Structure 1
Amino acid sequence: MDLSLLLTLAVIHTVALISPGPDFAIMVKIATQQPRGTAIAAAVGISMAILAHTILSLTGVSLLIKSSHTLYLLVQIVGASYLAWMGFGALRAGLAILAKRKASASTNAGTKVDALSADVEGAASIAGGLGGPMSRRQGFLTGLYTNLLNPKALVFFLTLFSALITPSVTTSTKIAAAILLLSLSLAWFGFVAVMLSKARVQLKLQRLTPIIDAIIGVIFMSVALAIYANLLLTV
C-alpha cells in the first residue's frame, strides 16, 4: 500500500472539502435551517456522491464520460440546470422571507414574535419555494444530487486520479483511497452539520436566513452560468 500517495490524496481532498463551493453552501443552508438529522443525512448524501465519483474515476467510467462529447455535454447540461434550479430556489426563498418580514413589520411593528414567525414560515425547502422542514430522505438526496450532478466534481476527481493513480498502483491502495476520501468527507461535512445545527447557532443565524439563501443562490447560479458559458465557448 502506497502511504505517500494516500497522504497526498488526503491533503488535496481536505483542501477541496473546506474550500467554498456548492457542497459547503448547501450544508450551511440545511444545517442552519433544518433539524440536525436532516443536516447529517445531507452530509452523508454528499459523501456518498464523492464515493461514487471516486469509484467512477478509479474504474475509468469518468474518463469514458469525459471522452464522449455527447455524453459529457449531456452531463454538463443536466448538472448546470440542476444547480441553476437550486440557486433560483434559494434566491426566491430569501426574497420570500424578506417580503414576509416587511409585511409583518408593517402590520405589527415592534412585535418580535411576528418577525420570528415570518422566519419560520418563510424557511424554504432546498428545491425552492416555501415549505415545511425537510425530511432526512430529502436532505440525503439534496446532498447527493448537489455533488453528483456537479460536472466540476466529476472533472476534479478525474483530474486528481489521472495525475496520481498510475497503472502501477495496487488494488489495495485504490480501495484504501476510496475509503480515505469517504471518511474525510463524512468527518468534515458531519462536523459542519453538527456544529451549525445547534439550537443556539440556528437561533443566532435566524435573522441571517435571507442573506444565507441569497449568497447560496448566487453561488449555485454562478457555477451554473460558468458551466453554460464554457459550453457555449467550446461548441
Structure 2
Amino acid sequence: MDVSLLVTLAVIHCVALVSPGPDFAIMVKIATSQPRNTAIATAAGISVAILAHTILSLTGVSLVIKSSHTLYLLVQLLGASYLAWMGFGALKAAVTFFSKPKTVLNGEGADSSGFATTSEHSIDMPMAGTVNVLTPKQGFMRGLYTNLLNPKALVFFITLFSALITPSVTPVTKFAAALMLFVLSLLWFGFLALMLSKAKVQQKLQRLTPIIDGVIGVIFMSVAVAIVSSLLLA
C-alpha cells in the first residue's frame, strides 16, 4: 500500500472539502433549518456521491464521459440545470421574505425546492418563515444530487486521479483511497451536521435564514452560470 500517495490524496481532499462550494452551502442550509437526522442524511448523501465520483474516476468511467463530447455536454447541462433550480429556489425564498411586511407575513409555506418561504401562520413574527421539513431520505437525495450532478466535482476527481493514480498503483491502494475519501467526507460533513443542527445554533441563525438563502442562491446560480458560460465559450 502506497502510504505517501494516500496522505497526499487526503491533504488535497481535505482542502477541497473545507472550501466554500455547493456541498458546503447545502450542508449549512439544511443543518441550520432541518432536523438533525435530516442533516446527517444529507451529509451521508454528499459522501456517497463523492464515493461514486471516486469509483467512476478510478475505473476510468469518468474519463470516458469527459472524453465524449455528447455525454459530457449532457452531464454539464443536467448539472447546471439542477444547480440553477436549487439556486433559484433559494433566491426566491430570500426575495419573498424581504419583499413582505415583517409584521404580517402571508406566503405559501415553502417552494418546490424545499427552501424557506414565509407562512400564512407567521403573524407578528419578524423572522424568516417556516420551512418545509425534509425527511432523511429527501435530505440524503438533496446531498447526493448536489455533489453527483456538479460537473466541477467530476472534473476535480478526474484531474486528481489522473495526476496521482498511475498504472503501477495497486488495487489495494485504490480501494484504500476510495474508502479514505469517503470516510473523510463523512467525518467533515457529519461534523457540520451535528454542530449546525444544535437547537441553540439553529435558534441563533433563524433570523439569518433569508440571508443564508440569498448567499446559497448566489453560490448555486454562480456555479450554474459558470458551467453554461464554459459551454458557450468552448
Larger fraction in helix: 1
Matched, 1:9 2:9: yes
RMSD value, Cα: 1.6
Unaligned regions of 5+ residues in structure 1, if any?
106-111, 124-131
Number of aligned residue pairs:
219
The aligned counterpart of 1:19 is 19
In the alignment, is the contact (CA less than 8 A) between 1:45 and 1:140 conserved in 2? yes
Larger RCO, structure (CA 8 Å, separation 6 or more): 1
- Bigger Cα displacement from structure 2, 92-101 vs 169-178: 92-101
The aligned counterpart of 1:162 is 162
The aligned counterpart of 2:152 is 152
In the alignment, is the contact (CA less than 8 A) between 2:102 and 2:124 conserved in 1? no
Q: Percent identity?
A: 72
Residue 114 of structure 1 and its aligned partner are, at CA, apart by 2.7
Where 2:104 maps in the other structure, the secondary structure is: helix
Q: Distance in 2 between matches of 1:137 and 1:120?
A: 23
How does the TM-score come out when normalised to structure 1?
0.90
Q: Distance in 2 between matches of 1:53 and 1:16?
A: 14
In the alignment, is the contact (CA less than 8 A) between 1:101 and 1:119 conserved in 2? no
The aligned counterpart of 1:172 is 172
Aligned CA distance change for structure 1 residues 168 and 210 (closer, same or farther; 3 Å): same
Deviations 1:62-113 (A, max 9, x none): 00000000100010000001000000001111222334452528xxxxxx97
The aligned counterpart of 2:77 is 77
1:134-213 equivalent positions in 2, closer than 5 A: 134-213=134-213
Unaligned regions of 5+ residues in structure 2, if any?
106-121
Q: Distance in 1 between matches of 2:193 and 2:104?
A: 31
Q: Distance in 2 between matches of 1:144 and 1:223?
A: 17
Residue 119 of structure 1 and its aligned partner are, at CA, apart by 2.8
1:103-142 equivalent positions in 2, closer than 5 A: 103-104=103-104, 114-115=124-125, 119-121=128-130, 123=131, 132-142=132-142
Structure 2 residue identity aligned to 1:191: F
Where 2:86 maps in the other structure, the secondary structure is: helix
The aligned counterpart of 2:91 is 91
The aligned counterpart of 2:57 is 57
The aligned counterpart of 2:108 is none
Q: Distance in 1 between matches of 2:198 and 2:182?
A: 24
